Amino acid sequence: MTTGHPVGVVARRLGLDADTLRYYERRGILPEPTRDSAGRRRYTEGDVHLIEVLLRLRETGMPLADIAEFTRHAARDPAGVPERLALLREHRQRILDRRRRLDDALDLVDGKIDDYARRLPPRRSR
């Protein structure tokens, strides 16, 4: 009996191309899934959840090398969290730093918008 989901189903579910999942697997970013008797990849719900977490980390700007390290720690000791916790804390600080820079940039843009809007002549009513 084959359990789990094939790569195409998982890729569609996550909004990815199946080749992207295979690429991430080759790079060590994703753990290698189990395979059925024909050698086809099969992803459990746990695998899918981990991939979702890793994709969210990527969306937040976590470097692929850090994501691969996170994956290695999870594979080495699924119950152990110190290393993963440290990675996430460091990454959280990078996100907060980037957010502050973006907030500063947004303040500048808002100031320019206000300045340029004040420079426009008043609109005439009809």
Whole-prediction pTM = 0.76
Q: What does the pLDDT average to over 73-83?
A: 85
Tell me the pLDDT tens digit for each residue of 88-116: 999 999 999 999 999 999 999 999 999 99
How high is the pLDDT of residue 76?
A: 86
Helix 7-14 with 18-26: angle, nearest 10 deg? 100
**What Cα–Cα distance (Å) separates residue 36 from each residue in 7, 14, 40, 57, 101?**
12, 21, 5, 29, 48
Higher-scoring residue by pLDDT: 74, 62: 62
How high is the pLDDT of residue 80?
A: 77
How high is the pLDDT of residue 1?
A: 53
How far apart CA 109 and CA 52 sit, in angstroms, is: 33
